[in-house]
Amino acid sequence: MRVTHLSLGDFRNYASAELPLAAGPNLLVGQNGQGKTNLVEAIAYFATLRSHRVTGDQALIRAGSDSAVARMGVRSGEREVRLELQLNQGRANRAQVNGNSVRPREITRWFSAIAFAPEDLIIVRGEPSGRRRFLDDALLARHPVASAALADYEKVVRQRTSLLKSTRNRGTTVPSTLSIWNDQLVEYGVQIMIARRELLRDLAGPLRDHYHALVGSDHVPRLGMAESVAASLSERGVSRETPNASELPDVSRETLAQEFHEALRMVQAREIDRGVTLVGPHRDDLVLSLNGLPVKGYASHGESWSFALSLKLGLAELLRAESSAGDPVIILDDVFAELDAGRRARLMSAVGDYEQVIVTAAVESDVPDDVSWQRMRISAGTVAPMERSDDSAVDAAGAEGAAPPVVLTTPDPETSVSRAEARDDGSTEGDSGG
């Protein structure tokens, strides 16, 4: 699939912007702080309903505005759909597909993208929450219907945790409603655990292949899961599993559900004592290792980078093989400046035959020049097509203080619905993306 056009209103630093995109490789060039990442952030938001940079939607709305609108034309084979998202301050977000109101989370069924940005280093070097986020985004990309199980699970954890807290605060006996929440926690939690296990199994090969292709060595990258259910059971010597095993044994849904219930029984007193839900996929961690050593704390900067990038490229390959809607759109935000010439060329060859690739760079000479890029120049919130010869002017202008080019593209009449219309069209209020 590919994005044909992006329109923004009051999104980040754009009062309005029109960005036409071509099939194949697209390059957005501009000095630091001009709005390149903001454009690809808007595109990627349609795939995951969240920003890859911030938690919540507040920062995506232009300072001083109370809502932002992003519209996108997406072509998949012969089919073209128009997607629209309105992000609102203090109100539920809204979404439309071809002008019809839908719940925002339905948007992810129509668009698939894999974005890689320097922030993704947190997948391998940061806290478990960053790795869980990678897993959840991957599940959503593979099975858009999983968004319901993920949302239901989060809701159950919140409500169960608040019941545990109130039981602790009142000092009462265990309420009977806890077992109802336990059943739901196990039901949705097991769905997520199984989908994660399948993902790890399917991702292991593509991860290894991309790591080898990118780095050009025979290092051995591995994936595993540290599941809190297994960890709780093994504390009492009940479990067959080791929580940090890089290869999880094949366990049936029923067995997983039994183990989950058993783990909940074991930790119940501690949960009430602390007012926290202690076991379930929200406490699990993705275990990443290279040549038998954990990536976090051991791998070099370059190895960590290549590992994170290979995870994303491996996921893109999985989605490509599984989807009937065509390739996911590949977004590489500010990636090339970090790589040496050999890795730049190898990365480009890994993504070169995807239907659409969108790359941002502050310096055009950082990206391989033997690629037929469609080039756009981004400057102070304006977007303009760019000839190859403009390149030297951009590079020579330096980072700060250069006069922005006075060019604006015209709105695309196909996708032009005014923000007032979008707000007053009687859209169903959906669940907020943030």
Ligand X SMILES: Nc1ncnc2c1ncn2[C@@H]1O[C@H](COP(=O)(O)OP(=O)(O)OP(=O)(O)O)[C@@H](O)[C@H]1O
Binding site for ligand X (CB under 6 A): 12-13, 30, 32-38, 59, 61-63, 334, 360, 362
User: Was 258 annotated as part of a binding site?
Assistant: no
CB of 345 to ligand X, least distance (A): 22
- 31 labelled as ligand-binding? yes
Helix, strand, coil fractions of the chain, as percent rounded to 5: 45, 20, 35
Pair 259, 229: CB distance under 8 Å: yes
The CB-of-118 to ligand X minimum distance in angstroms stands at: 9
> In angstroms, what is the minimal distance from the CB of 96 to ligand X?
22
CB of 379 to ligand X, least distance (A): 9
d(CA 281, CA 186) in angstroms, rounded, equals 10
314 is in an annotated binding site: no
Pick 147 or 360: Cβ nearer ligand X: 360
Instruction: For the chain, state the CA radius of gyration.
Output: 23
Centre a 10 Å sphere on the Cβ of residue 136 and count the other Cβ atoms it contains.
22
Q: Is the CB of 183 or the CB of 395 nearer to ligand X?
A: 395
The torsion angles phi and psi of 401, rounded to 5 degrees, stand at 80, 0
DSSP string, 34-58: SSHHHHHHHHHHHHHSS-SS-SSSG
96 annotated to bind ligand: no
Q: Alpha-carbon torsion 139, 144, 149, 153, what sign?
A: positive
Structure tokens at 220: 């051995």
Query: Considering the complex, what minimum distance in angstroms separates the CB of residue 49 from ligand X?
Result: 18
Choose between 222 and 419: whose C-beta lies nearer to ligand X.
419
d(CA 66, CA 72): 21
Q: Looking at beta carbons only, is 38 or 382 nearer to ligand X?
A: 38
CB-nearer residue toward ligand X: 115 or 193: 115
* 36 marked among binding-site residues: yes
The string of DSSP codes covering 360-416 is EESSGGGS-SSS-PEEEEEETTEEEE--TTHHHHHHHT-SS-PPPP---PPP-GGG-
Shortest approach of ligand X to residue 12 CB, angstroms? 4
Residue 216 labeled ligand binder:
no
Query: Binding site annotation covers 244?
Result: no
Least distance from C-beta 359 to ligand X, angstroms? Answer: 12
Q: At what angle do helices 253-274 and 146-170 cross, to 10 degrees?
A: 30
Q: Which is nearer to ligand X, 63 or 420 (CB)?
A: 63
Q: Which is nearer to ligand X, 166 or 365 (CB)?
A: 365
86 is in an annotated binding site: no
> What is the length of the chain?
434
Round to whole Å and give the CA distance between 149 and 325: 23
User: Which residues define the annotated binding site?
Assistant: 30-37
User: Which residues define the annotated binding site for ATP?
Assistant: 30-37
